[in-house]
A and B are shown apart, each in its own frame.
Chain A
Amino acid sequence: MPEMTLPQFLLKNAREHPTASALREKEKGIWQEWSWADYLGHVRAFALGLVSLGFGRDDKLAILSDNRPQVYAAMVAAQVVGGIPVPVFQDAIAREIQYVIDHADATIVFAEDQEQVDKILELKGSLPKVAKLIYEDPKGLRHYADPLLMSLEKLEELGRKLDGERPGLFEELVRSTKSHDVALICYTSGTTGAPKGAMISHANLVSAIQGILEVEHYGRTDQMLAYLPPAWIGDTFWSLAGSLIVGCTVNCPERPETVLENLREIGPHFMIAPPRIWENLVSTVQIKMADASWAKRRLYTWLMPAGEEAARRAMEKRPLSLRLRILHALGEFLVFAPLRDQLGFRRTRYAYTGGAPLGPEIFLFFRSLGINLKQVYGQTEAGGVSCVQRDGDIKLGTVGKPFPNTEVRLTETGEVISRSPCVFVGYYKNPEATIATLRDGWLYSGDAALFDQDGHLIVIDRAKDVTALADSTKFAPQFIENKLKFSPYIKEAVAVGQDRPYVGAMVNIDMENVGKWAERRQIAYTTYTDLAQKTEVYDLIAEEVERVNRDLPDGTRINKYVLLHKELDPDDEEVTRTRKVRRGFVAKKYADIIEALYSEARSVGVIAVITYQDGRQATVRTELAIRQVGAARELAGV
């Protein structure tokens, strides 16, 4: 099996289970299905269509699309002919898209619809290597006359024609794929510098999936939801490789906005989500509970602590008292099971969080509900995932243990390094970065971590982010930020304090939840900025900050905070597409505000430049209040 490539897995599935469902997508209100035979049919037509266009070995196919069955078919099709798919973050701004497509030397781009086609056509002048632009959804494109354009339908037609002329060609191509071929180039949107294209081979992906299969149990009838950007390894790991190797069904949501609804309809058996999604789900539950009837609220507040205590004891491997057992059973019946069902986790065996650390409160919240939420850890460069918490051996704050096929060690400086068959081939056209990351077969992660006495890995922060106050008290900004983000009213936070007397925080309020809160209190507001600067909202966030401070060691408590006038946005380069704060950039961009956090000023003026999706820019001028925690409220108002 390790010798097999992804196209070979597809062929095998289509031969052994031709009618079983492989991919589904909700369209026009109905879940439309592709069987494994359909999946193969589309890949066959797509791949041979690519051959007709002269696309072959080592050519790159850039993919710009939301999760659609056609996306995964396109990836496999490119692999069949020995080419390499390069998924691109579909909501990235023009400059980033241009960089990735051009750097990857992509000759063909597969775009989902008019929106994506427009982006590429606009960039045409700076994408000299792109020779064809294939689109899936023809809506609005009828009168486009650009010679670059070709519909997917037309491409598949070319492919079927070639299939008729040269039967057996497709099978021959699939046979000649090799496991050490590069299967995928994933551009990692690092928190520093330009994106790097990680080349991942079939063997890397297959070994990584095998690694997780040694500790977790997936089956052919399992359902999963593919809703994360296909450019993120967390999606391709399961939706592409996992599904092909295990033979389970991938479901694509109707639209990005319907994910929660579709999640409930599908009831996936396993699911991966970055912390942002789990944080949103907690907020959803909390807000729904605040709006629920009195009786429901009482039940929830009465029984949730029992769930939490039970979850805690299970993790600490301590028995439950009789009282707790009864309360927990009652909670399971009245609160936990119904909530799991409401959220779509009724059948979920494994729920994973990865990509960034998740606050312990949020982790515990889901485990209290009886959802088997587990931390995974890995890198794009390690084929996706390399550590997972094992069932029955979950510990708060750790990322579990490495897969049996993965060796993880710490360097003298505490940096995580790993060695396994999953470790990638190298960065595309970037030997310096490859040498810096890959030394003697070891992959250097850049994460600071330690092992606890049971061999669980605890990731502290990015090694370069762990920092110290002026009095050399060490602190990890991410740790504080995750605690803040547990609040339904806080969407994003940036903790600062390097070489400063105390920790300060810049906070993004959660527009939806704070907006609802304000409506309930009849506080009128207009824009995000206006809402964020209301004295009442500052009071609301003050409570949240004080709650966080109670759990923080003395020296690293938040002393001052400011509510930012805008959300941190990947389009403004403040966070990566996977929502990791780009600290260096933020520190520079918000230098004035950070400076004000360490002065006597009670407010700070900002002129912000905002970049719209189409690249235009606008400026906003406003005054932000600075609030000291614990200061008398009337003093601190705007």
Chain B
Amino acid sequence: MAVVTSGPTQLELRGVSKSFGGVQAVSRVSVDVPKGQILSIIGPNGAGKTTLLNCISSVFHPETGTIVLEGQDLTRLSPARVAGRGVARTFQNIALFRGMTVVDNLMLGRHIHMKNGVFRSMLYWGPGRREEVEHRRVVEDIIDFLEIEAIRKRPVGSLPYGLQKRVELGRALALHPKVLLLDEPMGGTNHEEKEDMARFILDVNDEWGTTIILIEHDMGVVMDISQRVIVLDLGEKIAEGTPAEVKAHPQVIKAYLGTKASV
């Protein structure tokens, strides 16, 4: 149902490896992600999915390999720099400021684009104010887009889990990212919230052409919304292709569905 708009490669992973102690979490993974694609990463628990996302967003630096976004090497940059280059993400366990309102959380997502220093921003008048208004406009666009007007002024901690997930997506979108990394965006949500989230992911991709890489356990969702799927097992990429191809791949059935069936 998603529209295939595979342009030139935007994000390129070459032989990315990362280990923790003796455990090889990610092992020589290479992926080319075309601009505007929705790519899902699947695999059993401990397959290295989140680690791979963490490498892309520079939470960890890979031991070997390179990560290149539009010709620029991200491999050794700090997470803030990577965000500045247009990579935004959400987390498996929601990472928002629970005591702050939805609007304030989203405004923080604009932080990377704020140019005025502390002192100028503290002044009510002048460029600080103009900038604040401009960012608020962007944030209001996102609130409108995600249909969260009714909770705009609510502290995030008081919201149901599914809505917090949506706000977190909003915070990532506030960055106006080129690449959006979503770590289990539907984890822990109910059926209706899942459908909503799937629709928003497709809409983001559709509206802004954002490249989206997501980790998801719900196979139904993965098959529905992704244009391409890669499968990790024990840190290695064991399969790659369209959802239909991946579903039929014998190694996938063995590693992924097979282990599940034997539990």
Point out the residue from A27, A29, A30, A139 that lies within 8 Å of B152, measured CB to CB. A29
Which residues B174-230 have CB closer than 8 A to chain A? 199, 202-203, 206-207
Chain B residues, Cβ within 8 Å of A519: none
A29 to B143, CA, bound (A): 9
Which residues B114-148 have CB closer than 8 A to chain A? 136-137, 140-141, 143-145, 147
What is the size, in residues, of chain A's interface with B at 8 Å between Cβ atoms? 13
Point out the residue from B145, B147, B207 that lies within 8 Å of A142, measured CB to CB. B207
Interface of B is mostly: helix
Contact across chains for B150 and A28 when beta carbons are under 8 A apart: no
What is the size, in residues, of chain B's interface with A at 8 Å between Cβ atoms? 17
B70 contacts chain A at the CB level, 8 A cutoff: no
Chain A residues, Cβ within 8 Å of B136: 29
With A255-B147, A255-B149, A258-B150 as given contacts, are A142 and B206 in contact (CB-CB < 8 Å)? yes
Point out the residue from B144, B203, B207 that lies within 8 Å of A27, measured CB to CB. B144
With A139-B203, A255-B150, A258-B149 as given contacts, are A28 and B3 in contact (CB-CB < 8 Å)? no
Contact across chains for B150 and A261 when beta carbons are under 8 A apart: yes
Separation in Å of the B138 CB from the closest CB of chain A? 10
With A255-B150, A257-B149, A258-B150 as given contacts, are A143 and B206 in contact (CB-CB < 8 Å)? yes
Separation in Å of the B111 CB from the closest CB of chain A? 20
A279 contacts chain B at the CB level, 8 A cutoff: no
Chain A residues, Cβ within 8 Å of B207: 139-140, 142
Nearest residue (CB) in A for B136 is A29
Separation in Å of the B2 CB from the closest CB of chain A? 9
Contact across chains for B147 and A28 when beta carbons are under 8 A apart: no
Separation in Å of the A149 CB from the closest CB of chain B? 15
A261 to B151, CA, bound (A): 11
A143 to B140, CA, bound (A): 24
Contact across chains for B206 and A28 when beta carbons are under 8 A apart: no
Contact across chains for B141 and A28 when beta carbons are under 8 A apart: yes
Chain A residues, Cβ within 8 Å of B144: 27-28
A29 to B102, CA, bound (A): 13
A143 to B207, CA, bound (A): 10
Nearest residue (CB) in A for B199 is A140
Nearest residue (CB) in B for A141 is B206
Chain A residues, Cβ within 8 Å of B147: 255
Contact across chains for A143 and B203 when beta carbons are under 8 A apart: no
With A28-B137, A28-B140, A29-B140 as given contacts, are A139 and B145 in contact (CB-CB < 8 Å)? yes
A28 to B199, CA, bound (A): 20
Contact across chains for A143 and B152 when beta carbons are under 8 A apart: no
Contact across chains for B150 and A140 when beta carbons are under 8 A apart: no
Nearest residue (CB) in A for B142 is A28
Contact across chains for A28 and B143 when beta carbons are under 8 A apart: yes
Chain A residues, Cβ within 8 Å of B3: 143
A27 to B150, CA, bound (A): 12
A492 to B140, CA, bound (A): 36
A139 to B137, CA, bound (A): 17
A261 to B206, CA, bound (A): 32
Chain A residues, Cβ within 8 Å of B140: 28-30
Chain B residues, Cβ within 8 Å of A308: none
Chain B residues, Cβ within 8 Å of A139: 145, 203, 207
Nearest residue (CB) in B for A28 is B140
1/0 per residue, CB under 8 A from B, across A2-40: the answer is 000000000000000000000000011110000000000
A-B contact pairs, 21 of them (CB 8 A): A27-B144, A28-B137, A28-B143, A29-B136, A29-B149, A30-B140, A139-B145, A139-B203, A139-B207, A140-B203, A143-B3, A143-B206, A254-B149, A254-B150, A255-B147, A255-B149, A257-B149, A257-B150, A258-B149, A258-B150, A261-B150
**A-B interface, 8 closest residue pairs, ranked by CB to CB distance from nearest:** A257-B150, A28-B140, A140-B203, A258-B150, A254-B149, A29-B140, A143-B3, A255-B149
